[in-house]
Amino acid sequence: MSAVATMTDLARLLQAFFCQFLMQQRHASPETVKGYRDTFRLLLHFAERYTGKSITGLSLSDLNAPLVLAFLEDLEMQRRNTVRSRNARLAAIRAFLHYAALEAPTALPGIQQVLAIPMKRFGRPLVGFLSREEMEAVLQAPDSHTWSGQRDRVLLATLYNTGARVSEIIAVRRVDLECERAQALHLHGKGRKERVVPLWKQTATLLRAWMLRIGPEPQQPLFPNRFNQAMTRSGVASRLQCATKAAAKQCPSLRDKRISPHLIRHTTAMHLLQAGVDITVIALWLGHESVVTTHQYLEADLKMKERALAALQPPETTAARFKPSDTLLTFLDSL
């Protein structure tokens, strides 16, 4: 008997979901496929422990609501995942089950119970960002007398200028720097979304000088490591930590702050907002799919709120005090 003939409905549907639906029909990006893959690796290993069956023996009916709920609880309690991560895993499971419901309609009653599991609400903290003085201290911190220090200066300046995600900045190649005068940078964003971000004169000057220090090939990583390979996420984070530690000697307020490449992205957005750049332009600058995402920076800008409050003159008239009718009071008391 062939291996295909012995596959369970779950194994068959999962393979079809990844190969036919995600990759061929939706043409999902490699990062999306990896995210879904990681979710199902975790889920299948958990299901193996939960049901006592081997992974190859699991069927679609085993992925019922009690199992998925237990899996989500395990993510939060045992693996210490955030609610955001928990919701992302649930979204991947939902996507698969929507596909499975069309391919195996007899399993629909059980699938509907899993699809009824809600996303968990969570508090959204205010966006953190660096002041202009703190950002300037970080940018000036790398040692310009060494090759790695020169690279770090250009890397951090470009990261701040573009507001790029760390995945975008490490993917940049020499060919992505537009024109000889380095006036713009082509970024390859999430979900194959691409955008071109203009460069400030100072950033362009640093990049033109840096281009002389790296290989001339079009696919040469713009920010290579010591092996001339593209830097990793952890490599960028490590170099930023080194720069922050050095900058804290001149700027003590940096000592108690946890600074990541994504915080630099938030800082770019906040500084553009404070400079009076329209929020729709900032959304394009950062590569946000929706302006709703960019509104979090408006909420975080306390200085802007204070300016709005100062500009608002209180009315001189005194408002009459509201006196509810007996009927309204009776209604309210009944609630």
Residues with a catalytic annotation lie at: 165, 190, 262, 265, 288, 297
Q: Count of alpha carbons within 13 Å of 256, Cβ hemisphere only?
A: 2
Spacing of C-alpha 257 from chain mean position: 20
Spacing of C-alpha 47 from chain mean position: 28
Q: Which residues of 124-156 are buried (b: 16+ CB within 10 A; e: fewer)?
A: eeebebbeeebbebbbbbbeeeeeebbbbbbbb
Q: Dihedral through CA 105, CA 110, CA 116, CA 122, nearest 10? A: -120
Cα–Cα nearest to 100, from 90, 89, 111, 109: 111
Cα–Cα nearest to 11, from 63, 65, 88, 76: 63
Amino acid at 231: M
